[in-house]
Amino acid sequence: MTTWDPSQYLKFADHRLRPALDLLARIPAAEPGAVFDLGCGAGNVTKLLAERWPKARVTGLDSSMAMLEKARAAAAPRIAFVHAELARWTAPVPASVVYSNAALHWLESHETLFPRLMGQLAPGGALAVQMPRNHRAPSHTLMVEAAEAGPWRAKLAPVRGIRAVHDPDAYYRMLAPLASRIDIWECEYLQVLEGENPVVEWTKGTGLRPYLDALDDAAKKGFLAAYAERIAKAYPPQPDGRTLFPFRRIFIVAEG
Ligand SMILES: C[S@@+](CC[C@H](N)C(=O)[O-])C[C@H]1O[C@@H](n2cnc3c(N)ncnc32)[C@H](O)[C@@H]1O
């Protein structure tokens, strides 16, 4: 089980929020009943779902106690935050909206997961999902390279990090037979980051976590240095000192 550090994840809150809002803007539901936020994390997006639909019953679900604790402390009391394993989750009542921002890429078997999530919808409900699809970028391929490049290799061999998210047409084939309307798009955000070697700080909050969790302090330091050296070359600073981190994401809105 990956450990999550809400403060590390929230370091880039603005960049991480943008796709959540872009997804939210495309959900047609006018007056939903039950809204579920799968992999709600620290609850900052769940709060926005509750603001958009003030009459809805909004529930955030996550498997990280640290994230849920942060969410409960920060969000409105009318939002329920519930501990759940998404691989097995079913909605307690038919859902008007099943929303998930930057979480389902941690789960495998999307071929069964996505149709099962569609099955949780009330008639006319919507499944709305955003996932990073940056696994072919140096930020992610260099994790695997660094994992194989030192004495930590054996410890990291069994690590299974972020799953490779499928191409958009694969999600179309999974969902089109179950949907009355389907909208899938991709977007590459040219993220402008501040600070020294900031891409490492970014992945330390997400994709790097399973690798770091598997190592003791000394090996962690060595692995992180091997990764950081490669990342610094792949993402050199611009003349103004900032670093460009192009980041590809897939968006899916399927109506039942
Ligand atoms: C990158 S965070 C995204 C948080 C939030 N959706 C946001 O946009 O700020 C991913 C979240 O998914 C949760 N998660 C990952 N795999 C999960 C699983 N199998 N079951 C439940 N939650 C999971 C993690 O605990 C983490 O809080």
Q: Is the pLDDT of residue 164 over 80?
A: no
Q: Angle 229-211-68 (CA atoms, 0-180°, nearest 5)?
A: 120
Q: What are phi and psi of 39, to 5 degrees?
A: 70, 50
Pocket test for ligand 1, best of 48, 49, 62 (most atoms within 8 A of CB): 62
CA 112 → CA 88, 121, 168, 190, distances in Å? 11, 15, 16, 32
207-222 pLDDT, tens digit each: 999 999 999 999 999 9
Q: Angle 21-240-17 (CA atoms, 0-180°, nearest 5)?
A: 10
Give the model's confidence band at 5: pLDDT under 50 very low, under 70 low, under 90 confident, else very high: confident
* Residue 4 alpha carbon, nearest atom of ligand 1: 25
73-84 pLDDT, tens digit each: 987 788 999 999
Determine the residue type at 206.
T
For the chain, strand residue ranges (E) read 34-38, 57-62, 80-83, 95-101, 121-132, 181-193, 243-255
71-121 pLDDT, tens digit each: 999 877 889 999 999 999 999 999 999 999 999 999 999 999 999 999 999
Residue with the two structure tokens 């919507």: 126
pLDDT at 226: 97
Return mean pLDDT, the chain. Answer: 94
Ligand 1 centroid to Cα of residue 103, in Å, is: 4
Ligand 1: residue whose CA is nearest its atom 8 = 101
Ligand 1: residue whose CA is nearest its atom 27 = 41
26-48 pLDDT, tens digit each: 999 788 999 999 999 999 999 99
pLDDT at 117: 98
Ligand 1 centroid to Cα of residue 68, in Å, is: 10
Ligand 1: residue whose CA is nearest its atom 14 = 39
Q: Angle 184-51-21 (CA atoms, 0-180°, nearest 5)?
A: 30
pLDDT at 30: 83
pLDDT at 86: 97
pLDDT at 214: 95
Give the model's confidence band at 175: pLDDT under 50 very low, under 70 low, under 90 confident, else very high: very high
Mean pLDDT of 234-251: 97
Ligand 1 centroid to Cα of residue 243, in Å, is: 26
* Residue 87 alpha carbon, nearest atom of ligand 1: 19
Ligand 1 shell residues, CB under 6 Å: 4, 16, 20, 39-41, 44-45, 62-64, 67, 84-87, 101-103, 106-107, 206
